[in-house]
Amino acid sequence: MPLTRHLKKSDTWENHGHHVNVDYTPDHVMKSETFKDRTNYDPGSSLSPSPSSGKVRREPSLGQDELNRRVEAFIKKFNDEMRLQRQESLNQYMEMINRGAH
């Protein structure tokens, strides 16, 4: 047996020693079994129905001033959160240093 052996995915993927016949294909497969289009779509059989029933909620366009206000508020909030994280990290570091000194 060569050192580097070529394996098919079917030989390695979760078979746990069981042989899987990868060459088996049924004689006849209906398109409806393999392809979901609008003609055979059953909304009741979907795995995760969307709570909004497919409609997208759109907000009205914002004016430039309102957009700038929201962007600035977002940036300020982000910077405040980063500042708080740095302060908490520094506090934890100081506690760790002080524990080692006593």
- Which whole number is the average pLDDT over 49-75? 82
From the centroid of its chain, how far is CA 51? 19
Q: Most confidently modeled of 2-6, 40-44, 49-53, 73-77?
A: 73-77
Per domain, the residue ranges of the chain are 64-102
Question: What is the band of 19 on the pLDDT scale with cuts at 50, 70, 90?
Answer: low
Answering whether pTM is above 0.85, one says no
Report the pLDDT averaged over residues 52-59. Answer: 71
Non-local (6+) Cβ contacts of 22 within 8 A are 8, 10
Average pLDDT over residues 29-42: 62
